[in-house]
Chains A and B, each alone.
Chain A
């Protein structure tokens, strides 16, 4: 058994150690730099995968774009969003917006997988590390907008403060949610409803179809707790819910719940930290 992990930064190499431990093998890493376009990158990776039984990457939009294409090139079996490894050919993954946990068996080799790092602990380093500068593809990059500023990356942050539609508009969201996030040195997140109504930018969406987060502290303000949102936060160590609706479903999953108007509670919380 040999595992190759495809990483987009060194933090992902460290996370790959956890997946390798769960699989029960050592691993090599390819660290991709530059701005990859999936078709060129998959072609460049293809020869590097020779001899590996498993090829894996941390789940992200970037890795999903790439790894499924690589699986297609290699005619491989693929498992998306692995949360647990039962054996080298049996994996667990969420489906139906996180409301079902599926156990999936792969029937051939190689196996291509994306995995959610929260479920894997281990600190083994990579054996061989290969640097790969992204190759050109037929699709070409025209422009890029990178947002985020000074806050930590959502999927790596120790503290995440998220807001829902009650925030009303982008300015209020940034002031209330962003303000508390900054006070705690954390990242800001949002629900799909907040993103869809233009209150928060798309890359802040937390949930099954957005970012999967696993911070030590997750504060949800004005969030009812849809299945798809909860699927993205359930690995958080401590979930705090602030909502003025005492019947909001999020209170069933929150470790600490406060029934209050977020426009009063958040500033008060911020002032008392």
Chain B
């Protein structure tokens, strides 16, 4: 089985980011970049499948500037076999990403596309479903457990009020949620080995233009400061005063 894992380079999800003063973008000065955590979970899951079944191969792809090599090398260090960088500095939204990924799928020919449910920078939660629609493949989003079977995957996914399990015939797109696995710590030998794994670069395959444009970024409105109460009695009184009980 061939698995394709798209990985996105995002601002460090644990860094506190602010908009630029003119609102034209994120202030990323001095901020580190990393693999989108949901995509890292997808890479980890694909590599675990490969470790259980040596006939599985894992290709990772990133779309963006040459800097994305850093994230692709990390995915290779986790254990992916090869990497592809679709090099571009164009503005993209999820529709463009889905169109480019569709071209990559047609080129690489995976049975399964495994990717994060959303990127922690734009929080869109769109690209996987859009890719599945374009390919006409079934999908399972928010996966918290994946079991492989002959010609299908059995995916347990988180829902609004619990969980459900789907049988998804391959080829398919599966998007990963937080609790699918805990990505491994990458040891030095993995990092060294990743340097010699194949990484190829290619230009975009489509001329898809974004269908949305971000006009402005700003900090969210803040709540007015509240007050401290000294005891539970004071709390109950304050709640009654405000009609909250």
Interface residues of A (CB under 8 A from B): 37-39, 42, 60-62, 64-66, 68-73, 75-81, 90, 94-108, 137-148, 153, 155, 184, 192, 195-196, 201-203, 208-209, 211, 216-217, 227, 231, 234, 237-240, 251-260, 265, 268-269, 272-273
Contact = CB atoms under 8 A, between A and B. Distances in A.
B229 A100 contact: no
For the residues of A in contact with B, the DSSP-based class is mixed
A103 to B, nearest CB: 4
B66 interface: no
For the residues of B in contact with A, the DSSP-based class is mixed
A255 B226 CA distance: 4
Contacts of B133: 42, 68-73
Contacts of A201: 162
Contact of B219 (A66, A100, A103, A142): A100
Given A68-B130, A77-B211, A61 B158 contact: yes
B126 to A, nearest CB: 4
Interface string B60-102: 0000000000000000000000000000000001110010000
B51 interface: no
Contacts of A217: 239, 244-245
Given A104-B212, A153-B161, A253-B226, A99 B17 contact: yes
B2 interface: no
19 contacts: A39-B137, A69-B129, A71-B130, A76-B211, A96-B121, A100-B18, A100-B217, A102-B214, A139-B139, A139-B168, A142-B166, A144-B159, A203-B159, A203-B161, A209-B118, A256-B229, A257-B227, A258-B228, A258-B235
Chain B, interface size category, equals: 35 or more
Contact of A68 (B94, B121, B165, B223): B94
Interface in B182-234: 209-223, 225-234
B134 A95 contact: no
Given A42-B133, A69-B129, 20 more contacts: A38-B139, A65-B141, A71-B126, A71-B133, A95-B122, A96-B121, A99-B16, A104-B212, A138-B168, A138-B169, A142-B164, A144-B162, A144-B163, A146-B161, A148-B162, A202-B144, A209-B118, A217-B245, A255-B223, A273-B245
B162 A203 contact: yes
Contact of B17 (A70, A77, A96, A239): A96
A153 B160 CA distance: 9
